[in-house]
Amino acid sequence: MNWRQFIRVMKIDERGARAKYKVASKAAKSQAMKEIFEKLAYEEEVHIDVLNRFEKELTSLLAEEKKR
């Protein structure tokens, strides 16, 4: 598995976790539990954004290295 495949797999995992937290939030009986699961879902979105940035940075870095 190369780094690009690894990041793609990680993004799939993060999206899966986010979806599960959203389901849990909708099923939660109390507002406090809903908010906890919503915060967790948000954190997964942050992780996806970070992975997207890393993917772009690595792509740029490798393109620069090929030019040398």
Q: Is the pLDDT of residue 62 over 90?
A: no
Q: Is the pLDDT of residue 6 over 90?
A: yes
Mean of per-residue pLDDT scores for the chain? 95
Q: What is the pTM (predicted TM-score) of this model?
A: 0.85
Condensed to tens digits (0 to 9), the pLDDT of residues 15-41 reads: 999 999 999 999 999 999 999 999 999
User: Residue 66 — pLDDT band, cuts 50, 70, 90?
Assistant: confident
**Residue 50 belongs to what domain range?**
3-67
User: Residue 68 — pLDDT band, cuts 50, 70, 90?
Assistant: confident
Count of structural domains within the chain: 1
Q: Which residues of 2-14 are buried (b: 16+ CB within 10 A; e: fewer)?
A: eeeeebeebbeeb
